[in-house]
Copies of this chain bind each other. A is one copy, B any other.
Amino acid sequence: MKLNDLLSHQSEWLKDTGPNSNIVISSRIRLARNLEKIPFPHWANQSQSEQSLGQVVKTTQKVNFLKGATVFNLSELDNIDKQFLVERHLMSYEHTQKPDHKAVIVDNEEIVSIMVNEEDHLRMQVMQSGFNIFEAWSIINEIDDALAKELNFAFLLEWGYLTACPTNTGTGMRGSVMLHLPALVMTRAIDRVLAAIAKLSFTTRGLYGEGTQAMGNFFQISNQVSLGLSEDDIVTNINGLIRQVIDQENQARETMLSKNKALLEDRVNRSLGILKSAHIISSQETIELLSMVRLGYDLGMVKNIERSRINELFIITQPAHLQKLESKKLSSQERDVKRAEIVRSKLNI
């Protein structure tokens, strides 16, 4: 697979095929692993980094789930390509910095990705559409077992898996669920919900992880504690919490429909109207408006546009995706014009 092939592929996290996919965008499990006797990436010298990269890449080729996977060496990618992979949630922004001896391994379906030599030697993730955290866990567990047969992971009986940052030590696991919560935001109940989540030691982030704001009413909820609990406990806890958030969002939607249907129809249709007619539009505004259109679709207010088209627009209007589509570097202003053009052409049908 070549990187450009991804352009015509639908990201797992935008497929909208899993359970509760009206509210849950995707479920993701990430495991952090390190190789014994090689320093963590930030402390490793060049030959040590080469060694860890080589070992991981060689081993992944043997694992069932990763046989056809592609290895992208970050030193061979330009900035747009790297940003492109970040936009597809296949790797972190941090991983794009200092690209030497770094790679990301991606399977053809974009379900599995393994960052090599990010903060840890391995950061593997499995993504599933919709509310599907158990399935994600089951897949990544299998991959982890297979890799563990070939690689010696740094592990202490007392501590569990060792990681560069102590917050990941133990299971090395983070489960994250991306939710679309427009009704909780509009009914101003979101702050209460987020505060409750924080008390339960879960963290909330925006569409693009740590440090990004909640754009377009998207919220990514993750466990904070990976030590002292079993993997199954963590997954079960996340699952229970997300179930409650889904219920709250559904209630908020019903309340809005019964109390403010006209207001909601107005917002949804205005959002679609602006997307259909703007000639200059930022990435952020696009996401905000698409969020309203997505809600409108969920509520049966938007009918003659397929959901797959709405989802596609979330990703192809991102800066790197736009530039890949145009096959050239575009300034921010050029992107705003091109973005509006693409949105108009996809929605005026």
A274 surroundings in chain B (CB, below 8 A): 270, 273-274, 277
How many Å lie between the Cα of A276 and that of B273 in the bound state? 7
- A263 CB contacts on chain B under 8 angstroms: 280
CA distance A153 to B279 in the complex (A): 59
- State whether the Cβ of A164 lies closer than 8 Å to any Cβ in chain B: no
Query: What chain B residues lie within 8 Å of A91 (beta carbons)?
Result: none
Closest residue of B by beta carbon distance from A301: B279
Is A272 located at the chain interface by the 8 A CB criterion?
yes
The interface size of chain A toward B, counting residues with CB under 8 Å, comes to 17
- Assess the A273–B277 pair: CB atoms within 8 A: yes
In the complex, A279→B276 CA distance in Å? 16
Name the B residues within 8 Å of A337 (CB-CB). 262
Flag whether A278 is at the interface (Cβ < 8 A).
yes
Prevailing SS type, chain A contact patch: helix
Report yes or no: A279 in contact with B269, Cβ–Cβ below 8 A. Answer: yes
Is A210 an interface residue, CB under 8 A from the partner? no
Q: Which of B266, B278, B281 contacts A279 (CB 8 A)?
A: B266
A322, CB-defined interface residue at 8 Å:
no
Q: Which residues in B have their C-beta under 8 angstroms from that of A288?
A: none
Q: Is A340 close to B, CB under 8 A?
A: yes
Residues from chain B with a CB closer than 8 A to the CB of A281 are: 266
* A272 proximity list for chain B (CB < 8 A): 277
Is A269's CB under 8 angstroms from B273's CB?
A: no
Contacts of A280 in B (CB 8 A): 262-263, 266
A30-68 CB contacts (< 8 Å) to partner B:
none
| Shortest distance between the CB of A115 and any CB in chain B (Å) | 39
A162 to chain B, nearest CB (A): 54
Q: Which residue of B lies closest to A264 (CB)?
A: B279
Does A144 belong to the interface (CB within 8 Å)? no
A349: shortest Cβ distance to chain B, in Å? 15
Complex contacts, A135 vs chain B, CB 8 Å:
none
Give chain A interface residues in 123-154, CB to chain B under 8 Å: none
Choose among B265, B266, B273 the residue that contacts A273 (Cβ–Cβ < 8 A). B273
- The contact string, 1 if C-beta is below 8 Å from chain B, for chain A 252-278, is 000000000011011001101110111
CB distance from A33 to the nearest CB of B (A): 49
Residue of B nearest to A337 (CB): B262
A214, B269: Cα distance in complex, Å = 28
Residues of B within 8 A of A266 (CB): 278-281, 340
Between-chain CB contacts (< 8 Å), 24 pairs: A262-B279, A262-B280, A262-B337, A263-B280, A265-B279, A266-B278, A266-B279, A266-B281, A266-B340, A269-B277, A269-B278, A269-B279, A270-B274, A270-B277, A270-B278, A270-B279, A272-B277, A273-B273, A273-B274, A273-B276, A273-B277, A273-B278, A274-B277, A276-B277
